[in-house]
Structure 1
Amino acid sequence: MNHLPKRSETKPEYRWKLEDLFADQAAWDAEYAEVRKKLGDIAAYQGKLKDAASIAAAFALEDELSLATERLYVYANMRHHEDMADSRYQALSDKAKKLSVEVNEALSFITPEILSLSEDQLKSFIEDPSLKATYKRTLREMLRQKPHVLSKNEEALLAQVGNISQAPSTIFGMMNNADMKFPKIKNEQGEEVELTHGRYIQFLESRNRDVRREAFKAMYDTYGKWRNTLAATLNANVTKNLFYAKTRKYPSALEMSLFGDNIPQSVYDNLIETIHRHLPLMHRYMKLRKKLLKVDELHMYDLFAPLVEEFDMDISYEQAKKTVYDSLAPLGEDYRRTLQEGFDNGWIDVYENEGKRSGAYSWGAYGTHPYVLLNHKDNLNSMFTLAHEMGHALHSYYSDKNNEYRDAQYTIFLAEVASTLNEALLMNYLLERSKDPKEKMYLLTYYADQFRTTVFRQTMFAEFEKIVHAKAENGESLTPQELCAIYYDLNLKYYGNDVHVDKDIEMEWARIPHFYTSFYVYKYATGFSAATSFAKQILDEGDPAVERYLGFLKSGGSDYSINILKKAGVDMSTPEPIAQAMSVFESLLDQMEQLAN
């Protein structure tokens, strides 16, 4: 079939069952009307939150409204994602978004009002036996946040500054996505094509070295022309972070960003220091890459080039499900029963259709099973995507099943662990069964590159952010030359002597959107390391490690992320999990070097 099928032409067994969330449109409308009616009820608590009973009642209503709104919002948007051109669901999605904003506004008085109480009053409520444990946890968290919350007038002023503080990110987004135009370069067929963000990685993965080099040069030449503006934009973002850190009485911008998840700075520092100690492994991988590519000099534009001749793995969706199911046997029968339930009972929207949202995700609302959106192609990547998204889905399933609504939502710091663990077990399964050396090398390269891009590269980004913020905090200016020098030196350090670190790479900082969501990228590296550590423990120890891991999935957000992981046997406040991940990377290199000889 050369054309994409319409939504109505896709088989029901490959569509998710959103009826499990709302039986029909009438049921959605009824819940929507109910939320609107209850919006008035919450206002009755304003100015009354002075005793444990009133706080408990307000929290209960807040949960009721939040959950209903979440259900309405998720359903409307998932319907919209089935076919983005369908105007009915576009309208429904807009209606749900507007409701969500209204509900948030109506509930916005609760936290400041409780925080205006004295510390002693808050402590007495936390001791109060009539308050549910989950509400006590909310109050304890408010007490922890209290030193960083300002007076009512100051908070109102900061809220007004909110729009201005978005400016660096908005300006960067406009420049990067709308205004910046890249030149034309020759593709593999020798045709002139315009370079775009989307095509850039495709060009870097080309087997033709001239194509890779041209794309690389054209990309960074373009950024180089805007270096002053882009440095000013990044500078403005750093200044904004320093302003908020100082205003909210945090010791530094880094500590402010870690405070929300209650992550000690040692976690961030440990990551960088442990990766520094293991950089010889990265340098070893670069040496091997140079050998396999048969080049005299390995350049920055060679880092994504395929190391194995064309190798296509044709994997149907049915086959992908079976392989994922078999590969997750180490997690035990309860986990696999739930996985099979998801496969069989309309959790997954499988194939692409006309107008369907691209990419993949796992989503849902508390109280109903999770959902997964895929755009499945019959290849290895799609099989890994299935394992990844079902990891998220089962994390949500176990979280929801074992926690009240308030405690079920896990943090971003934990989110990637369950999904990446599934990928690690799938990779282990495939490598153990692979008989074809070419297939094995293909798999090993795929996995080694995940370490390179998710652990090493994201840690390098995290280190760059730490350096530039520290310089700004010391009153040093971040000129374009300074930013380029810091970034270039980090590349020299991370990639080692077997890579010719092209001067152009000094401009790469200018095209990383994540630098506008400061101190976020380290979570990719810690999440991947925690998952790799779990996988290693599960494969080495068996049942005791599986029990600990299932305990992690069942914890949801009922404690701070770092404590949840620690209880399950992964202590991110020590270098151990990152060192364990590095030992897995080392074993991949051993296998690759054997195959290469």
Structure 2
Amino acid sequence: MSQLPKRSETAAEHSWKLEDLFASQSDWDKEFAVAKEQMKQVAVFQGKLADPKQLKACFELEDDLSLHVERLYVYANMKHHEDMAEPTYQALSDKSKKLSVETGEALSFITPEVLSLSDAELESFIAHPELSKYRQTLEEMRRQKAHVLSKAEEALLAQVGNISQSAGTVYSMLNNADMKFPKIKDENGEEIELTHGRYIQFLESKDRDVRKAAFKAMYETYGKLKNTIASTLNANVTKNIFYSRARKYPSALEMSLYGDNIPKSVYTNLIDTIHKYLPLMHRYMELRKKLMKVDELHMYDLFAPLVEEYKMDITFEEAKKTVKESLKPLGEDYLNALEKGYNDGWIDVYENEGKRSGAYSWGAYGTHPYVLLNHKDNLNSMFTLTHEMGHALHSYYSDGNQDYRDAQYTIFLAEVASTLNEALLMDYMLNKSTDPKEKMYLLTYYADQFRTTVFRQTMFAEFEKIIHEKAEGGDSLTPQELSKIYYDLNVLYYGPGMSVDKDIEMEWARIPHFYTSFYVYKYATGFSAATSFSKQILEEGAPAVERYLGFLKSGGSDFSINILKKAGVDMSSPEPIEQAMSVFEDLISQMEQLTS
């Protein structure tokens, strides 16, 4: 079918049931009016939060108002995503966004007012029986207190806020709008302009000359702007150091980990443990060289296909069945919840005209989660289904077992549940596969996830750590210095089997994540935690499943690191990363056997 169906032509069984959130537009309008009214009531509490009874009433109103706003926002935007061109829901989405901003402003006095209490008063509130439901909130406020400044200083920092964004903004404009890449010849000898979007496609080309040309053109272009981009990256590092010193943190790294209450040891332990397992990455590179039948493996060979694309036609019905089979190790309770998701209008399955691209899991507390897909009948879409259902069931369990305030989990935890489902699906498919071609295709798909999500993101994390420490020690980050640090890391991570091309030294200039500092490590820790869980579940069975379901039910009721630890994954120790590495080693061994 070349023509996409209109939204009105979408079959009901393939559409999500948004009426479970609001049965009609008039119900939405009524709840909007309630939220507007509650917003006015919030102001009554200003100046009264030193009284535990008043604080409790204020928190209760805050919860009630926030939930209304969340429901209104989620519904309006999900309706908008069904058909982005439909003006009614464009307007409703805008209306909900404005309401969300207004609510944030109305509630903004609460935290500063609670933080203006003395330490003794805050202690007594944390222990107060009337406020037991809000203990985690108050604990979190107390933890932040050491880094909150006086009213005048906070006002000054708030004004600096816009200036502090400028390094990232300038880089983004340069990188996305102003930077132009040359034309290169594709497989058919046609001249095609290189763009960010086409770069990975060129690197996946079977033609080595195309890959090399794209690689060279990309980094030569960045090389011409190295002084400017080094300045924007420097400015971003300087901003981080300014804030960390203003807010009295020992370092920029510790400041950025503080929000999720992650100890520095989690970050350093990731880098140290991965260093120990670099020989595995080197072994994988040697295997890649052998599979590609090349004398020298170059940086532009990393995305080239190792095996012929193995075409797998998987309908949505087959994908659902396979996903369910693969998740059997998680037990009856989890499978029943998954069936609910399949049958009770959680999932919006196929693409239609105007529908938002990509996939996500979303929803509002008190109603089941929702999943948006744009399903194609292929392997990737099946992995997307299990990934998004992992998120959805995390929300389902956490909402079902936690109060509204404690149900929301952090980004540090979010990717664990989705990636665990992918790991179980991969394990199931590898065990079931009898075709060596199919098996090799799956093994390379999975091994490359380890390479890009664990090793590469850890290398990025190490680069960020080094450049911040150098700047904190007073060193200057010249383009030459940045390039040298980056090149040396590539040599270290890829090992002696790789010809590390000089051009790669400019790759630091291409990574937008470096302007959201110290974020990328979460990809590596999330993937490692999920792989560790899947290994425990497959080897131990019931006790590990029990611990894992306990993790899903915990929501955000404790700090992320504690929630994982209780479930048997201690990210401050090397163990989960070591377990993930043993899975990676097993993949490489299987690939070596298939090619020997």
Q: TM tier, shorter chain?
A: over 0.9
- Summarize the alignment of residues 375-414 of structure 1 with structure 2, pairs less than 5 Å apart: 375-414=374-413
CA distance in 2, matches of 1:245, 1:310: 48
**Corresponding letter in the other structure for 2:136:** R
Partner of 2:122: 122
Partner of 1:365: 364
Partner of 1:65: 65
Partner of 1:94: 94
Query: Does residue 217 of structure 1 match 2:185?
Result: no
Query: Does residue 6 of structure 1 match 2:6?
Result: yes
CA distance in 1, matches of 2:377, 2:540: 34
Query: Does residue 251 of structure 1 match 2:250?
Result: yes
Partner of 2:42: 42
CA distance in 2, matches of 1:324, 1:198: 31
Partner of 2:539: 540
CA distance in 1, matches of 2:24, 2:542: 43
CA distance in 1, matches of 2:47, 2:490: 55
Partner of 2:554: 555
Partner of 1:447: 446
Gaps of 5+ in 1: none
**Corresponding letter in the other structure for 1:29:** D
- Summarize the alignment of residues 141-290 of structure 1 with structure 2, pairs less than 5 Å apart: 141-290=140-289
CA distance in 1, matches of 2:580, 2:441: 20
Query: Does residue 105 of structure 1 match 2:105?
Result: yes
CA distance in 1, matches of 2:464, 2:224: 23
Deviates more, 1:6-15 or 1:312-321: 6-15
User: Alpha-carbon deviations, 1:156-183, whole Å to 9, x = none?
Assistant: 1111111111111111111111111212
- Summarize the alignment of residues 572-583 of structure 1 with structure 2, pairs less than 5 Å apart: 572-583=571-582
CA distance in 1, matches of 2:215, 2:6: 38
Distance apart, 1:138 and its partner CA: 0.8
SS of residue matched to 1:475: coil
**Corresponding letter in the other structure for 2:61:** L
Partner of 1:461: 460
Distance apart, 1:195 and its partner CA: 1.5
Deviates more, 1:198-207 or 1:286-295: 198-207
Query: Does residue 291 of structure 1 match 2:325?
Result: no
Does the CA-based 8 Å contact 2:371-2:389 persist in structure 1?
A: yes
CA distance in 1, matches of 2:509, 2:441: 32
CA distance in 1, matches of 2:88, 2:181: 37
CA distance in 2, matches of 1:510, 1:294: 31
User: Alpha-carbon deviations, 1:526-578, whole Å to 9, x = none?
Assistant: 00000000000000000000000000000000001111111101111100000
**Corresponding letter in the other structure for 1:250:** Y
Gaps of 5+ in 2: none
Partner of 1:341: 340
- TM-score, normalised to structure 2, is 0.99
Does the CA-based 8 Å contact 1:195-1:215 persist in structure 2?
A: yes
CA distance in 2, matches of 1:435, 1:202: 30
CA distance in 1, matches of 2:341, 2:174: 42
Distance apart, 1:219 and its partner CA: 1.2
**Corresponding letter in the other structure for 1:471:** K
Deviates more, 1:406-415 or 1:123-132: 123-132
**Corresponding letter in the other structure for 2:595:** A
Does the CA-based 8 Å contact 2:309-2:441 persist in structure 1?
A: no
Does the CA-based 8 Å contact 2:554-2:563 persist in structure 1?
A: yes
Query: Does residue 584 of structure 1 match 2:561?
Result: no
CA distance in 2, matches of 1:464, 1:329: 40
Distance apart, 1:448 and its partner CA: 0.1
Partner of 2:17: 17
CA distance in 2, matches of 1:303, 1:358: 27
SS of residue matched to 2:130: coil
- Summarize the alignment of residues 475-514 of structure 1 with structure 2, pairs less than 5 Å apart: 475-514=474-513
Name the count of aligned residue pairs: 596
Seq. identity, %:
77
SS of residue matched to 2:361: strand
CA distance in 2, matches of 1:407, 1:444: 39
User: Alpha-carbon deviations, 1:336-356, whole Å to 9, x = none?
Assistant: 111011011111111111111
CA distance in 2, matches of 1:73, 1:552: 27
Partner of 1:131: 131
Distance apart, 1:190 and its partner CA: 2.3
Distance apart, 1:310 and its partner CA: 3.0
**Corresponding letter in the other structure for 2:202:** F
CA distance in 2, matches of 1:564, 1:48: 34
CA distance in 2, matches of 1:358, 1:179: 26
Does the CA-based 8 Å contact 2:391-2:417 persist in structure 1?
A: yes
CA distance in 2, matches of 1:204, 1:309: 15
CA distance in 1, matches of 2:558, 2:116: 25
Partner of 1:27: 27
**Corresponding letter in the other structure for 2:176:** N
Distance apart, 1:139 and its partner CA: 0.9
Distance apart, 1:188 and its partner CA: 2.3
User: Alpha-carbon deviations, 1:281-331, whole Å to 9, x = none?
Assistant: 000000000000001111101001111123111111111110000000000
CA distance in 1, matches of 2:350, 2:304: 29
Deviates more, 1:454-463 or 1:156-165: 156-165
CA distance in 1, matches of 2:528, 2:309: 30
CA distance in 1, matches of 2:477, 2:128: 51
**Corresponding letter in the other structure for 1:112:** P
**Corresponding letter in the other structure for 2:489:** L
Does the CA-based 8 Å contact 2:126-2:132 persist in structure 1?
A: no
Does the CA-based 8 Å contact 1:51-1:125 persist in structure 2?
A: no
- TM-score, normalised to structure 1, is 0.99
Does the CA-based 8 Å contact 1:330-1:539 persist in structure 2?
A: yes
SS of residue matched to 1:352: coil
Query: Does residue 426 of structure 1 match 2:422?
Result: no
CA distance in 1, matches of 2:299, 2:71: 46
- Summarize the alignment of residues 292-311 of structure 1 with structure 2, pairs less than 5 Å apart: 292-311=291-310
CA distance in 1, matches of 2:534, 2:330: 10
**Corresponding letter in the other structure for 2:43:** A
Distance apart, 1:126 and its partner CA: 1.2
CA distance in 1, matches of 2:213, 2:524: 30
CA distance in 2, matches of 1:116, 1:476: 38
Distance apart, 1:265 and its partner CA: 0.5
